């Protein structure tokens, strides 16, 4: 995984097309820097305003968040 730079942390969320779609609405999830932890912490979730659930997961780093999103835990 590439190193995150300050510019990347402040950039708009990135749509990850290699991630599973939202199980409730089928939208592509977004991966974002997560404010609630260290600089590597990430959040992956559905940001579709029409999704009734908007599920999301956080991980201590991008790999951890991706693993959780793909397994749905």
Domain ranges of the chain: 6-71
The mean pLDDT value for 33-56 works out to 92
State the pLDDT at residue 37. 80
Confidence bin at 6 (pLDDT 50/70/90): very low
Three-state SS at 18: coil
Whether residue 46 has pLDDT greater than 80: yes
Query: Whole-model pTM?
Result: 0.73
What mean pLDDT do residues 2-19 have? Answer: 56
Q: What is the mean pLDDT of the chain?
A: 83
> Can you tell me the distance from the alpha carbon of 57 to that of 16, in angstroms, rounded to the nearest whole number?
14
Instruction: State the pLDDT confidence band at 15, using cuts at 50, 70 and 90.
Output: low
d(CA 55, CA 68): 12
Q: How far apart are CA 35 and CA 28, in angstroms?
A: 22
């Amino acid at each position: 995984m590439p190193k995150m730079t300050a510019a990347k942390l402040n950039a708009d969320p990135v749509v990850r097309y290699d991630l599973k779609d939202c199980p409730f609405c089928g939208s592509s999830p977004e991966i974002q820097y997560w404010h609630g932890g260290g600089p590597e912490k990430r959040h992956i979730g559905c940001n579709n305003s029409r999704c009734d659930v908007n599920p999301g997961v956080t991980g201590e780093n991008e790999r951890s968040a991706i693993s959780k999103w793909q397994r749905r835990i």
